[in-house]
C-alpha cells in the first residue's frame, strides 16, 4: 500500500448534467475523491455510470455544473480554457481511448511538442521515453503506421513526457494483448513509485489489481 503524503488531485461534490431536448441526464451527482502522491486509484462501474464524464471533468476538458477540481493545489475547474490548457500541459498526463497523438506529427515530435507546451523542452529525450515503453525504433512513425498496442504505448510516452503530477487514463489496456498490457501496467506502477498520482478508469480486473484503491461509480455516485 502506497503512503499518501500529499494530495495531487482532488474533486469535491462534482455535478454534471446533460440535456437533450426535454430529457436530462445526471451524469455526476456529488462525486468527491482524492488521489495522493504516489497513489494509483482505479475508477470502475457499469456502462453509463459516469466514468468518462468524471475523467473529462478532472482533466478540465469538460466543466462540471457544480463542485471543484484541484490538481497539485491549483483549481482547474471554472477557469478560462486558456488557463485550463496551461494547467493540463504542465501538470497532467492524459491518456484517452480516442488516442492522444497528433496525426501529422511523428511519435518523437508529439513527445517534443508535449514537453514544449509544458515549458520543459529538454526534460527527457524522446528516445529514452520510447525505450521505456518498449518502442525504440518507432520514433519516426506517425499514428497510422502504428499497431493498436504500439499506439497505446506511444500515447503513454506522450502522456508521461511532461513529468505530470497526475496521470489520467481511460482504459489504458483496453485492446492490448497480455504482454503489452503488462508493459503498460508496469510503467504506470513505476510512475506511481516516482511520486506521481494515477487515476485510471477501467473495467479490467488486472488493472484494478495494480491499484491501491478501487472507487466504484453507479448512476453518477460513488457507491464503494
Ligand atoms: N454529451 C452527452 N450528451 C448527453 N448525455 C451524455 C453525454 N455524455 C454522457 N452522457 C450520459 O451521461 C451518462 C454517463 O456517461 P459516461 O460516458 O460518463 O459513462 P461511462 O461510465 O464512461 O460509460 P462507458 O463505460 O460505457 O464508457 C450516460 O447516461 C450517458 O448517456
Q: Is the pLDDT of residue 5 over 60?
A: no
For range 123-143, the mean pLDDT:
87
Backbone angles phi, psi at 70, to 5 degrees: -125, 130
- At which residue does the C-alpha cell 496525426 appear? 103
Q: Which of these, 5, 4, 52, lies nearest to 31 by C-alpha position?
A: 52
Q: Are 25 and 18 in contact (CB under 8 A)?
A: yes
Q: Is the pLDDT of residue 197 over 60?
A: yes
Query: In which region does residue 222 sit, left (phi positive, over 0), alpha (psi from -120 to 50) or beta (all else)?
Result: beta
Band (pLDDT 50/70/90 cuts) for residue 8 is: very high
Catalogue all structural domains in the chain, each as residue range(s) with its CATH number.
Answer: 7-222 (3.40.50.300)
Write the ipTM: 0.97
Q: Are 84 and 60 in contact (CB under 8 A)?
A: yes
User: Can you give the pTM of this predicted structure?
Assistant: 0.89
Which ligand 1 atom is nearest residue 19's CA? 4
Kindly give the distance from the C-alpha atom of residue 38 to the centroid of ligand 1, in angstroms, as a whole number: 29
CA–chain centroid gap for 107, Å, is 18
- Please name the residue whose Cα sits nearest to atom 31 of ligand 1: 48
**pLDDT score of 215:** 97
Kindly give the distance from the C-alpha atom of residue 165 to the centroid of ligand 1, in angstroms, as a whole number: 27
Which ligand 1 atom is nearest residue 52's CA? 22
**pLDDT score of 12:** 97
Enter the C-alpha cell of residue 41.
486509484
- Ligand 1, CB cutoff 6 Å, lining residues: 18, 20, 25, 27, 45, 47-53
- Please name the residue whose Cα sits nearest to atom 7 of ligand 1: 18
Enter the C-alpha cell of residue 99.
488516442
pLDDT tens profile 100-110? 888 899 999 99
**pLDDT score of 199:** 95
- Which comes out higher in pLDDT, residue 121 or 19? 19
pLDDT tens profile 139-178? 999 989 998 888 888 988 898 888 889 999 998 887 778 8
What is the Cα–Cα distance from 92 to 215, expressed in whole angstroms?
Answer: 20
Handedness of CA 180, 95, 168, 215 (dihedral sign): negative
Q: Is the pLDDT of residue 91 over 80?
A: yes
pLDDT tens profile 17-57? 999 888 999 999 999 999 999 999 999 999 999 999 999 99
What is the Cα–Cα distance from 141 to 159, expressed in whole angstroms?
Answer: 17
Q: Is the pLDDT of residue 99 over 90?
A: no
Amino acid at each position: 500500500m502506497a503512503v499518501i503524503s500529499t494530495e495531487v488531485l482532488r474533486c469535491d461534490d462534482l455535478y454534471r448534467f446533460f440535456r437533450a431536448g426535454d430529457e436530462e441526464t445526471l451524469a455526476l451527482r456529488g462525486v468527491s475523491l482524492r488521489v495522493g502522491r504516489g497513489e494509483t486509484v482505479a475508477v470502475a462501474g457499469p456502462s453509463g455510470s459516469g466514468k468518462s464524464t468524471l475523467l473529462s471533468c478532472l482533466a478540465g476538458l469538460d466543466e462540471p455544473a457544480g463542485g471543484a477540481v484541484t490538481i497539485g493545489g491549483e483549481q482547474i475547474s471554472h477557469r478560462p480554457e486558456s488557463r485550463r490548457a496551461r494547467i493540463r500541459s504542465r501538470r497532467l498526463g492524459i491518456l484517452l481511448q480516442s488516442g492522444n497523438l497528433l496525426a501529422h506529427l511523428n511519435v518523437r515530435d508529439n513527445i517534443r511538442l508535449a514537453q514544449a507546451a509544458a515549458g520543459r523542452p529538454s526534460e527527457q529525450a524522446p528516445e529514452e521515453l520510447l525505450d521505456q515503453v518498449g518502442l525504440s525504433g518507432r520514433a519516426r512513425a506517425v499514428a497510422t503506421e502504428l499497431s493498436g498496442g504500439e499506439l497505446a504505448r506511444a500515447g503513454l510516452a506522450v502522456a508521461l513526457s511532461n513529468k505530470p503530477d497526475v496521470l489520467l487514463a481511460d482504459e489504458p489496456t483496453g485492446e492490448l494483448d497480455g504482454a503489452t498490457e503488462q508493459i503498460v501496467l508496469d510503467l504506470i506502477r513505476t510512475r506511481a513509485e516516482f511520486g506521481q498520482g494515477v487515476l485510471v478508469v477501467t473495467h479490467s480486473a488486472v488493472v484494478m489489481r495494480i491499484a491501491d484503491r478501487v472507487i466504484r461509480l453507479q448512476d453518477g455516485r460513488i457507491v464503494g
